[in-house]
Amino acid sequence: MAPALTSAQKKELRQIAQSIVENGKGILAADESTGTIGKRLGSIGVENNEDNRRDYRELLFTLSKDSNIGSSLGGCILFEETLFQSASDGTSMVKLLQDHGIVPGIKVDKGVQPLPGTNGETVTQGIDGLQDRCKKYKAAGAQFAKWRAVIKIGDDMPSELGIQENAVTLARYATICQQEGLVPIVEPEVLCDGTHTLARCQEVTEKVLAAVYKACNDHHLYLEGSLLKPNMVTAGMQCPDQATPEQVAEATVVTLQRTVPAAVVGITFLSGGQSEENATLNLNAINQYQDPGRKPWKLSFSYGRALQASVLKAWQGKKENVAAAQKELQKRAYANHMACLGQYTGDVTGASGQESLFVANHTY
């Protein structure tokens, strides 16, 4: 058994977790791997090299003070390269975020690998050496971490083996992070690929989350110093019967009520290939869903594509477009901030808007 956390450690973890999701704040997921960010840059004709990756991340982190971006974003997940990178003027990326009151975080997993004995299911790698990496990340300024597990819905999927292996691995990651002062984001993503119905997604998501929190309990995770990053409960992208935001909200909240302990500080949904606008509308409906006294967690966002699609379209890799691109980030972040409060009115449009951001079998 890992050494018990001290009272001081628990207090620090709890305060970090709370600060990320307080007052309608959410998370910008800017932790795309070198390969994935290359695809994003390639979509606007920009070469995937370190300078261009730095320029793009610098754009995201250097909004003006009067943008009030720190009122909408409480945290930002970074890829390792960015955590140790400096902007063109020599200021560290970590300090740029901190100057806005945004908590820096770090992606710590090493991606997925096939799980032997299954029909194409996967398990996430990266436990080996994780404790040492966490020490290094904490020293560099990171305050929270993210680890993504991937669950597929299909014929005979997910298997019990696939669910259990990913649940236990998430729990091991999370407890290691807490030992080193990093708040773990637990991310068991049920992919939206497929023709499955809303009801089937709910069934699988409930089973996965129940297994994850059983494993977290077995591993003595300090829940008050953790966050959950789940999928919303939606029909598969290829399902002909798509749900309304209200139906998504009910299925999602009921699923969480049945599986997620009240001690968990916040739930920061992934966007999962939804369009920017749909991700915001669904989050708003989730927060508007009326079931008094039974939503004990902050219900927020941890969006990558759904915060950046319009930014990339506006930027096009050109210095003269930086201000316009930053305005797109400000608008989308504010729209999702309002959705966290259940007050989004659908009046924020971006360059990407309703465009689908779905990527089959998505990897980071």
- Cα separation, 248 vs 234, in Å, equals 6
**Whole-angstrom distance, CA of residue 188 vs CA of residue 209:** 8
- Angle between the N-to-C axes of helices 305-315 and 276-288, in degrees from 0 to 180, rounded to the nearest 10: 150
Active-site residue identified among 229, 298, 313, 331: 229
Please state at what angle helix 50-61 crosses helix 322-340, rounded to 10 degrees.
50
Angle between helices 305-315 and 34-42 (to 10 degrees): 50
Are the C-beta atoms of residues 345 and 282 closer than 8 Å to each other?
no
CA 81 to chain centre: 18
- Check whether the bond before 3 is cis (ω within 30° of 0): no
Q: Which helix (H) or strand (E) holds 256?
A: helix 245-259
Whether 39 is a known active-site residue: answer: no
Tokens 């691109």 found at: 325
The 3-state secondary structure of 313-360, one letter per residue: HHHCCCHHHHHHHHHHHHHHHHHHHHHHCCCCCCCCCCCCCCCCCCCC
SS3 253: helix
Active site residues: 229
